[in-house]
Amino acid sequence: MFTPERMSLLQIVVLDDDLVTTCAALARQKVLHLVDRTVAAPALLEGTPAFFSSAHTAFETLLTQLDGTLTWLEDQLPDFPDCSTHPPITLDPPRALEELTPQYAACNEQLTQLRATHDRTRAEITRLTRVSDVLQSFESAGVTYQELSGFRYFAFLAGTMPFHYLQVLSASLQHVPHHLEIRRLGEQDVSIIVLCPKDMVNPVRNALRGVYFNEVEIPAEYQGNAQQALDEIEVQLWTLREDLAQVTGTLRAAAIAAAPRVVVWRKAVRGNLKLLEAMQLFGKTARTTFINGWVPRREAARIVAALQQLLHGRVLVDVAEPETADSTAYELVQRRGVRVPTKFRHPFFLKAFEGLVTTYGIPEYDGIDPTFFVAITFLIMFGMMFGDVGQGACLILIGLLLTRARSMPQLRPVGMLLMATGASAAVFGFLFGSVFGFEILPALWISPMQHVPTMLITAVLLGISILSLGIILNVIQAFARKDLRVAWFGQWGLISGMFYWMALGIFYLTVVRDVDIPVVPALLVLFTPIVLVVLGDYYYARLFGGTGDHAPVAAGPDDHSIAEVIFKPVEITLNFATHTISFVRIGAFGMNHAALMMVVFILAKIGGEFNGPHATMATKTSYIITVIVGNIFVMVLEGMVVFIQCLRLEYYEFFSKFYAGDGIRYQPLEVEE
C-alpha cells in the first residue's frame, strides 16, 4: 500500500513452433509487461517471424473494413444487440487471418447486395414520385407534355425544389421573360414548371441550379395521357414500396445477425494485431524466441508453472528480482537502464484517489506510493474547507448515482471520489454545526466565523504536519535508495527538517509562550543546520559523488557556485516559510464557505421573511427558492474551488518534498476479449 507492488523479471525462451501458443497464453494471463529486446538483449534479432510480417498489413486492412461495417451497423441498429457473450477469440495470426477473411467477405457481400437493392429501390421510388408530381403539375396547369414540347419558340423546365427558395428564384429570374407554374408538395417542397424563350433556357437552368432544383425528365412511356400515366406510376409505386418494405426487413435481419459476428471478428483482428506488435519486442535466434517482461512477484511462480504445463516442458524461464544483487534483473536495471513498471496495490477505498496521484505522475518502482497519504490529507483539507452536513450528503448522493451509472463506467472513480469527499464534508459539518448553511446543530468543535484565529491556527498546524510528513517520507525514501546525500543534505533532507522543526519550536516559545530566549543561542540553533546542509552537500558531492540509483554523478568544479552557496540557505528558509503560510488558505476557504452561505441567507431575507408577522406564502416561497438556489450555487462554485486548492496543496506543497512521478505505468500484454 505504501510502495508499488514488487515485480519479477521473466526471461522466457521458446521454440518458434510454440511462439503463437505462448503469446496467446501470456496475453490471456494479462500479467506480463513486455521489455523491448533492444534494451534487454540488443544482440538478438527482431522477434517477429518472417511468415507473420505480411499478416500485419492484411490485418490492418481487414480492421479498417470491419470498422466501416460496424459504424454502418451502429447507425442502422439503434437497439444494437448484446455482443458481450461469445466464444474465446482465435489468437493465432495466420490461422485467424485464414478464417476471418472469407467469413467477413461472405458477410460483407450479403450486406452489400442487400444495401444496393435497398438503395436502388428507394432511388426508383424517389424518381417515380417526382415524375408523378410533375405530371400532376401539368394536369393542374391544364396543359399536356406534348403541347409544351410542341412549342417552336418556347421551352420549359419541370421539376421540384425547396419551397423557401421561391423568393430567391423569383429574384434571379426577374430580368428573364418567363412564366412560373407552382404547386405545393407539402410543407417543404414545391413542384414547378418554368416556361421561357428557347434562347433563355441556359440562364434559367443556371438560376434553377442555385436554388436546389431537381429537374425531372418525363419518360417516353408517360408522355401520353397524363391520368393514365399517373395510374400506372401509382401501381408501380405500390409495388416498389412493398419491395422496399421486404428488403428493409431482410436487411435489418441480416444486420442483426451480422452485428455480433462483426464485433467478434473486430476483437479477433485487434487481438492478433496486438500479438504481432508485441512480437516486435521479442528477441530472435535461428530457432528460438526470447520474451522478456515484468510480472507481479506473487504471480511469477504461477505463470512459470502454467507455461511448463502448456508447452510440456519445452520452455526455459529465468525469474529474477531487481532488488537482488548480481541477478539479471538487477544488472538490466542498474547498467542498461531498464525501467521497472509501477503497479498499484491498493485496497478498495483507495482506488478513488489513484487518479489524483497519476494525474501528477506515476510513482517510481523504488519510491513511495503517496496514494494513502494523499487520501488522508486531501479529505481533511477538503472537509475543513467545505464543512456542511447537507451539502456533504448531496455529494455522497451524486457520487452514488455516478457509481451506479452502468452506461458510463468511466465515471465510477469520480463517483467514489465524490462520495469520499462528501463524507469528509459531512463529518466537518457536524464539527461546525452546519446543515445547508443553517447552524441548527450544536457544533462539536467550533463555528468558523466565530472562531477565526482557531481556524487559521488549525490550518497552519495542519500544514506543518503535512510538510513534516513530506520531509519524513523523503528521508525514508532516500535511505531506502541508499542515497545518503539526499537523505542528509538534500533541500528536504533530515538536516533541513531539523532546521524547520527547530525554527518552529523557537517561534512557539518566543511568540506563543512568551519565553525570553537569548538571541545568540537561537541564531546558533538555526544557522547550524543550514550551514551543515550547504557544506555537507558541497563536500559530500566532491568526496563521494553520487550514491544510490537516483543520486547525481560526482560534482564538477562549477556545480556549486558562490551564488548557489550563498542563496541556498535563503531558498530553504523562504520555501519553508511560504509553504507553511500557504496552508492558511485552508482556514480562509473554510470561513469563506460559511461567509457565502451568510450571503445566501441575506439575499433570501431581502425577498421577504420566512417567519414573523409579515411572512406570507409568497415571501416563504421566495425564501425557500433563494436558499435552494444559493446552496446549489455555493456547492458548485465552492466545490470546484476547494477541490482545486486541495490539489494545489498536494502537488506543490506536499509532493515537492519527495515525489517526482517519474515512474512508468504497468501495462501488461492483453487482448480485448
Q: Is the pLDDT of residue 117 over 90?
A: yes
Q: Is the pLDDT of residue 335 over 90?
A: no
Segment holding 289, helix H or strand E: strand 288-296
pLDDT in tens, 172-213: 898 889 999 899 988 889 999 999 999 999 999 999 988 999
Q: Is the pLDDT of residue 246 over 60?
A: yes
pLDDT in tens, 262-276: 999 999 999 999 999
pLDDT in tens, 531-590: 888 888 877 877 776 544 455 444 444 455 666 667 888 889 999 999 999 999 999 999
Helix residue ranges, H only, 145-293:
145-149, 166-172, 201-209, 226-279
Helix 412-432 and helix 371-385, axial crossing angle in degrees, nearest 10: 50
Q: Report the SS3 class of residue 365.
A: coil
At 48 the pLDDT is: 66
Would you state the cell numbers that stand for residue 216, as one nine-digit string? 425531372
Q: How far apart are CA 441 and CA 431, in angstroms?
A: 9
Q: How far apart are CA 223 and CA 243, in angstroms?
A: 26
**pLDDT category, 673, cuts 50, 70, 90?**
low
At 552 the pLDDT is: 47
Residues whose CB is less than 8 angstroms from the CB of residue 121 and which lie 6 or more positions away in sequence, other chains included: 240, 243, 244, 247
Helix, strand, coil share (%) of the chain residues, nearest 5: 65, 10, 25
Q: What is the mean pLDDT of residues 88-103?
A: 91
Backbone angles phi, psi at 62, to 5 degrees: -65, -35
At 546 the pLDDT is: 52
pLDDT in tens, 378-429: 999 999 999 999 999 999 999 999 998 877 888 899 999 999 999 999 999 9
Q: What is the mean pLDDT of residues 110-131?
A: 93
**pLDDT category, 495, cuts 50, 70, 90?**
very high
For the four alpha carbons of 280, 283, 288 and 292, in that order, the dihedral sign comes to negative
Q: What is the mean pLDDT of residues 428-440?
A: 94
Q: How far apart are CA 394 and CA 385, in angstroms?
A: 16
At 553 the pLDDT is: 43
Residue whose entry in the numeric block shows the C-alpha cell 520555501: 575
Q: Is the pLDDT of residue 600 over 90?
A: yes
Nearest to 368 by CA among 463, 462, 460, 492: 492
Would you state the cell numbers that stand for residue 594, as one nine-digit string? 460559511
Report all structural domains of the chain as residue ranges with CATH numbers, in order of start: 145-223 (3.30.70.2750), 348-658 (no CATH)
At 521 the pLDDT is: 87
Which residue type occupies 659?
A: Y
At 35 the pLDDT is: 93
| Residue of higher predicted confidence among 645 and 45 | 645
**pLDDT category, 47, cuts 50, 70, 90?**
low
Residues whose CB is less than 8 angstroms from the CB of residue 32 and which lie 6 or more positions away in sequence, other chains included: 10, 26, 291, 293, 294, 295, 303, 668, 669
Q: Is the pLDDT of residue 610 over 80?
A: no
Average pLDDT value for the chain: 90
Distances in whole angstroms, Cα of residue 476 to Cα of each of 401, 473, 502, 554:
40, 5, 20, 23
Residue 122 and residue 245 in contact, taking contact as beta carbons nearer than 8 Å: no
Query: How many beta carbons lie within 10 A of that of residue 486, not counting itself?
Result: 25
Q: In angstroms, what is the C-alpha Rg of the chain?
A: 39
β-strand 189-197 against 179-185: which pairing, if any? antiparallel
Q: Is the pLDDT of residue 596 over 90?
A: yes
Residue 148 and residue 270 in contact, taking contact as beta carbons nearer than 8 Å: no
At 147 the pLDDT is: 84
